Structure 1
Amino acid sequence: MKFDYNLPVNLIFGRGRVNEVGQIASKYGSKALIVTGHSSTKKSGLLDRTITYLKNANIYCIVFDKVSQNPLTTTAYEGAQIAKNKKCDVIIGLGGGSIMDCAKAIAFICKNDGDINDYIFGRLKSDEALPIILIPTTCGTGSEGNGFAVLTNRGNGDKKSLRCNAIVASASIIDSECMMTMPKSILASVGFDALCHCMEAYISRIAQPISDMISLQGIELIGKYLVPLYEGSDDPKAWDAISLASTFGGMAINTAGVTLPHGMEHPASGLRNIVHGKGLAALIPVVFEESIKECPEKFADISRRLGGKDENDCVEKIKELLERLDLTTTLSKQGIKEDDVDWMVENCFKVSSAGINYHPVTFNHEDIKRMYLKSLY
C-alpha cells in the first residue's frame, strides 16, 4: 500500500470560539476584509460581533457583503479590488460555503495577476494568496477544511474549483453556535451536501486509508444527527457533530476528490443557479443506482452508517433520508429543462473531468445523458 497525505489546515473547533477571531487574525495582519453575504450574518448579529472582536484586537475592518449562492468570478474580482485599494493583509470569510469560497478566491486574486479562469483550468499556477481565516455559518461545503474554491463564470456557465494549497485557510474557526440560526431548509440542503462529500470521497478511485476513515466518520455523524436537528432538536452536541462532519467532508474531498454526482451537478447549478444541495438530491440516487456493482462493499459500508443492512438497500436509505429532510426532488423541479441536457453533458466533461475519472464506474457521454434525463422526472 502506498499513499500520500498532506493537508496543512489549522482547525480551531468548539462552541464560543468565534470570540477568538481577533486574537487569531492579529497573527496574520492588521487590516481585514470581511467577506460575507447579504443578510444572514447581519440578522444574527454575528457580523457585528466579529467586527467588535477584531476592533478589540486593533484590526481595521472593511466589509464586503455582495456574495450570493454559486459565487461568480466577477464578484471575487470586485472584492479583491476593494482589498487591494484598502491595502488589506488578511481575508476573513464569514458565512456559508459560497462566502468561504469567494473569500479564498479574493485572497488568491490579491496576490496573482492574470485571469483566475486560467488558474482554475490549470493553465497558470501559483502558490500565493493572502492569509485566510474562515468562520463557517453552515455545515455543508467543508470549505474550511480544504484548498478548493468553487466559482461560476457568468460568461459561459462554467462552474469549477480553483484548487491549490495557497487557499487552505491559515485558520478555520468552527463554532457550532454560529450555525444554530440557519433556516431548516438550508440545514437540510447543506447537510446533504456534506454527506455527499463524505460518500463520494469514500467511493473515489483515489481514496486512501486516511480519507476513508474521515469519510466514514462523517457519514455516521450525519446519519445520526442531521434528521433530529432538522426536526427541531436543539442538542448542542448534535450541532457539534454535524459541524465536525461537514469539516470532515471538506477534508476528505481535498484528498480523494468528489466523483460523478458533484461532476454532474456543477453544470446544472452553473447554468441555472440552482441550490447545490437540491441538485445533488436529484442526482445522487440515479448515479448511485448505476454505480453499486463496481464497489458493493463500499456502498454496504455507507448503507450501514445510514441505518441500512448492505449495498442492496443503500439507495433506499438515501431516499428515506431525503424524504425526512423534505429534499425529495428532480432536476426539472429545480428549473432544469430537457433542452439543457446536451449542454450539461458536454460541460460536465469540460469542468468535471476529474470527478468523472475518480468515479468507480467509467461512464461515457451517452451514459451521463441517460442519467441526466432520468434525474429530470
Structure 2
Amino acid sequence: MNFNYNLPVNILFGRGKINKVGTETAKYGKKALIVTGKTSTKKSGLLDKTIDLLKKENLGYEVFDKVEQNPLTTTVYEGAEAAKKAGCDVIIGLGGGSVMDAAKSIAFSTKNSGDISEYIFGKKHGDEALPIILVPTTSGTGSEGNCFSVLTNPKTKDKKSLKSNLIYAKASIVDPELMMTMPKSIIASVGFDALAHNIEAYIGKRSNPFTEMQALEGIRLLGENLFKVCNDPTDVEAWEKVTFASTLGGMVIGSSGVGLPHGMEHPASGLKNVVHGKGLAALTPIIIEKSWESDIEKFSKISVLLGGKDASDCSDAVNRFLESIDLNVTLGDLGVVKEDVDWMVENCMKISEPNIQNHPKLFTKEDIREIYLKSL
C-alpha cells in the first residue's frame, strides 16, 4: 500500500448541533455573511434561528440569499462584493450543497480577485480565503466534508469544481434534524448524489484503504435507510444514518475524487440546469452496466450492499434501488435532447478529464457519446 490521506475537516455532528453556530462563528470573525437560498431556510425558520444565535454572541451579520440550484460564477462575484461592502470577516453557508459551494467560493473570491474560472482551471492559485462555517440542510453533496466548490459559468456553460485547501470549512455543523425540513421530492435526488459519491470514490483509481472503508459504510447506510426517510421523513434515526453517509461521501471524494458518472453529469446540468441527483440517476446504471467487469470484486460488494447478488447485476441493483425511492429517470425526462449530445461530449472531454481517468474503466469519446444517447 502506498497512499496519502489528508482531510483537515472539523465536523460537529449530531442532533441539536445547530445551537453551536454562534459560538463556532465567534471563533473566526465579528460579522458574518450568511449565504443561503431564496426560500427554504426562511420557511423552515432556520435563518431566523441562526441570526438569533449570532446575536447571542454579539456578532453582526448580512444575508445573501441569491444562490441557485446550480450556483453561477456571477452569483459568487455578487456575494463577494456583498461581503466586502458589509465588512464581513467570516462566511456562513446555510443550506444545501449549492449554497455551501457558493459560500466556499464567495469566501475565496472575497480574497482573490479576477475571473474565478482561471482558478478553477488552474491558471491562477489563490493566497487566502475568509474563514467558512458550513451548515448543511440537505443530505447529499457532502460539501461540508471537502474542499470542492462546483460552479457553472453562465457564458460557457462549463460546470466544474474549484478545488483549494483554502476553502475547507473551519467548522461543519451537521445536524440531522435540519434535514427533516427537505421537501420529499428533494430527498431522493440528494440522497442518490450521496450514494454516487460513495460508489465513485470506492471504485476510483485514486481510492485508498481509508476511503474504501468509509465509502462502503456510506453505501451500506444509504442502501438500508434512504428509502426509509423517503417514505417517512419523520424517522430521525434513519436520518442520522443517511446524513452520516452523506458526510462520508463528501469526505471520500475529497480524498479519492469522483468518476465518470459525475464527469458526464456536469455537462448535462451545466447546459440544461437539471437537478444534479436526477442527472446522476439517469447515467449511473448505464455506466455501471458498461464498467462492472473492470473491477468484479468492488462492483460485487456494491451490488450486495444494494440488494443484488454479484458484479454482473450491480446495474440492476442500482436500478431497483432507484425504483424504491421513485427516482427512475432518463436525461430525456430532464429536458436533454439528441441535439445536445455533441456539445455534452465535447464539454465532458474538456472539463472532466480527471474524472474520466479516475474511473476504473477508461472510456473513449465515442463510448461517452453512446452512453449519453442510451441515457435519453
TM class by shorter-chain length?
Answer: over 0.9
Aligned pairs for 1:222-241 within 5 A: 222-232=222-232, 234-241=234-241
1:265-303 Cα shifts (integer Å, max 9, x gaps): 000000000000110010001111000010011001111
1:322 maps onto 2:322 in alignment = yes
Q: Is the CA contact 1:127–1:164 (under 8 Å) kept in the aligned structure 2? A: no
**CA displacement at 1:234 relative to structure 2:** 2.3
Match for residue 334 of structure 2? 334
Q: Is the CA contact 1:258–1:355 (under 8 Å) kept in the aligned structure 2? A: yes
Q: Which amino acid aligns with 1:218?
A: G
**CA displacement at 1:157 relative to structure 2:** 0.4
Q: Is the CA contact 1:8–1:168 (under 8 Å) kept in the aligned structure 2? A: yes
Match for residue 347 of structure 1? 347
Match for residue 218 of structure 1? 218
Q: Is the CA contact 2:152–2:159 (under 8 Å) kept in the aligned structure 1? A: yes
Q: Which amino acid aligns with 1:24?
A: E
Match for residue 113 of structure 2? 113
Q: Is the CA contact 2:184–2:233 (under 8 Å) kept in the aligned structure 1? A: no
1:195 maps onto 2:195 in alignment = yes
1:188-223 Cα shifts (integer Å, max 9, x gaps): 000000000000000101100011011001000000
Match for residue 38 of structure 1? 38
**CA displacement at 1:233 relative to structure 2:** 5.2
1:371 maps onto 2:362 in alignment = no
Cα gap change, 1:281/1:343 in structure 2, threshold over 3 Å: closer, same or farther? same
Match for residue 284 of structure 2? 284
Aligned residues: 376
Q: Which amino acid aligns with 2:47?
A: L
Which runs of 5 or more residues in structure 1 are unaligned? Answer: none
Aligned pairs for 1:245-264 within 5 A: 245-264=245-264
In 1, Cα distance between the equivalents of 2:251 and 2:349?
24
Aligned with 2:129: secondary structure?
coil
Match for residue 47 of structure 1? 47
Aligned with 1:48: secondary structure?
helix
Aligned pairs for 1:122-271 within 5 A: 122-232=122-232, 234-271=234-271
In 2, Cα distance between the equivalents of 1:217 and 1:113?
40
Aligned with 1:287: secondary structure?
helix
In 1, Cα distance between the equivalents of 2:329 and 2:20?
40
Structure 1 consecutive aligned stretches of length 4 or more whose deviation exceeds 2 Å: none
Q: Is the CA contact 2:180–2:233 (under 8 Å) kept in the aligned structure 1? A: no
In 2, Cα distance between the equivalents of 1:96 and 1:54?
20
Match for residue 28 of structure 1? 28
Q: Is the CA contact 2:259–2:356 (under 8 Å) kept in the aligned structure 1? A: yes
In 1, Cα distance between the equivalents of 2:113 and 2:62?
23
1:127-159 Cα shifts (integer Å, max 9, x gaps): 511000000000000000000000000001000
Cα gap change, 1:233/1:40 in structure 2, threshold over 3 Å: closer, same or farther? closer
Aligned with 2:363: secondary structure?
coil
1:229-265 Cα shifts (integer Å, max 9, x gaps): 1011522111111111000000000111000000000
In 2, Cα distance between the equivalents of 1:362 and 1:352?
13
Over the matched positions of the two proteins, sequence identity in percent amounts to: 61
1:285-328 Cα shifts (integer Å, max 9, x gaps): 11110000100110011111112221122111110111111110
Q: Is the CA contact 1:142–1:247 (under 8 Å) kept in the aligned structure 2? A: yes
**CA displacement at 1:68 relative to structure 2:** 1.0
Q: Which amino acid aligns with 2:259?
A: T
1:76-106 Cα shifts (integer Å, max 9, x gaps): 0000000011111100000000000000000
Question: RMSD of the TM alignment (CA)?
Answer: 0.7
In 1, Cα distance between the equivalents of 2:362 and 2:14?
41
Match for residue 91 of structure 1? 91
1:362 maps onto 2:362 in alignment = yes
Task: Give the TM-score taking structure 2 as reference length.
Answer: 0.99
Aligned with 1:188: secondary structure?
helix
Q: Is the CA contact 2:33–2:64 (under 8 Å) kept in the aligned structure 1? A: yes
Aligned with 1:173: secondary structure?
strand
1:96-135 Cα shifts (integer Å, max 9, x gaps): 0000000000000011122100000011112511000000
In 1, Cα distance between the equivalents of 2:129 and 2:214?
27
1:10 maps onto 2:10 in alignment = yes
Q: Which amino acid aligns with 2:312?
A: N
In 2, Cα distance between the equivalents of 1:358 and 1:72?
26
Aligned with 1:334: secondary structure?
coil
Aligned with 1:134: secondary structure?
strand
Aligned with 2:123: secondary structure?
coil
In 2, Cα distance between the equivalents of 1:20 and 1:192?
29
Q: Is the CA contact 2:112–2:127 (under 8 Å) kept in the aligned structure 1? A: no
In 2, Cα distance between the equivalents of 1:123 and 1:171?
29
